[in-house]
Structure 1
Amino acid sequence: MTNQQSLNSVDMLLNMGPQHPSTHGVFRMVLQIDGERVIDVDPYIGYLHRGSEKLSEGEQYAQIVTLFDRLDYLANFNNELVFCMAVEKLMEVEIPERAEYIRVILCELNRIASHFLFYGTMGMDAGASTPILYGFRDREKIQSVFESVSGARMMHNYFRIGGVKEDLPTDFFEKIYWLIDEIKKGVDQADSLLSFNEIFLNRTRNIGLINAEDAIDFGLTGPNLRASGVSYDLRKNDPYSIYERFDFDIPVGDRGDVWDRYFVRVQEIRESVK
């Protein structure tokens, strides 16, 4: 006999990915869903497995930096930094103070650029087409600074074991002061356009809830972990490079829903420009 529960529950298998015309670096997920509720998910990493570890075995340490650029094309500088720091620690190399500051500045700009792209694509996924135009506009300003520093918009290959490839351009700080003002205006505009839009709130509030305990159990890190109410940021809790010299707050969420994961990133942009 068919009961009421079986009548109301129709699970569906949905393949998400691996290729999508608008994105890079995605993977395949096989979702078991009941309406809009995800019951189970099987991830298939596929082409995201680049074999970087094996490739690194045949390279000299200095050559491996280029491979780390490609681990996350939205966080090139940050990936370069972690590898260089690991080798520097093994070699007990002392980094020039100027190089440390250059690294931090570029890593934080990289973080902001990544968050602006998240803002734009998040709005697009929620049904708003305008935010992605603003997100790409503001990200492009940062990309132009990266290009002036490293000669490349992406895959910068600028950090070196022991420092950086070369000093900053002579007009760098003039551009940075202008860029900081532009970022502040951009994030204010983005915030007012999307963050508290009623339709956006209805589509993101209390959706995809992940509490603090589950976030830790699932191994979430970065903004996604902090969105679940866990005030943990390596730059603050276990500072590397020279992050202990900087004063900034750690934005956290209070629900662990989709909106918190979005808004934590908006707030992190404000903290990074400090």
Structure 2
Amino acid sequence: MAEFVPYLRGQLKGYHQLVSGNEIFLNRTKNIGTYTKEDAINYSLSGPNLRSTGVKWDLRKDEPYSIYDRFDFDIVTREEGDVLARYYVRMGEIEESLKIIEQAVQQFPKDGEIIAKVPKIIKAPKGEAFVRIEGSRGEIGCYISSDGKKEPYRLKFRRPSFYNLQILPKLLEGESISNLIAILGAVDIVLGEVDG
């Protein structure tokens, strides 16, 4: 990992030289697929789709879980809410992820026990819980309700692609077919995550 981080930083410079300043790319993404901060909130968008409208919200910072409170990193935002803004947010998040990786590597214990075994069956205690994490496409939530038996009574996931997809009809009103590809790509859905 210590070797990978500087390598990817070098690659990012190449990506910016090839794409970020490319006149054709800028013309095909600027002011395309635009929505407002209010739209993003009303459609329950999260992740880069939300932060591209200027909303500075990231669960890793705002409601830290796991060991994220140990890391120093920034929440990347843009104000424009267009395809280009979503691109810049994602590129910035790669850079912030590299900062997190560097800090995690420095904090790795040099020696000690490795805990890698997980029981084959994890039986949830009686009750219910909801937890969420920040994924690359937005918030991933998991609700579980158990009566203490082997399988949970109810299990439901909140998948960001499902919510992010819902804004597409609004974004595609009056748009050209050629802009559809850029808009869909910038919303960044995984169809398997949408089906559910």
TM-score by length of 1: 0.36
Answer 1 or 2: higher relative contact order, Cα 8 Å, separation at least 6.
2
Structure with the largest fraction of helix: 1
TM-score by length of 2: 0.50
Q: Which has the larger radius of gyration?
A: 1
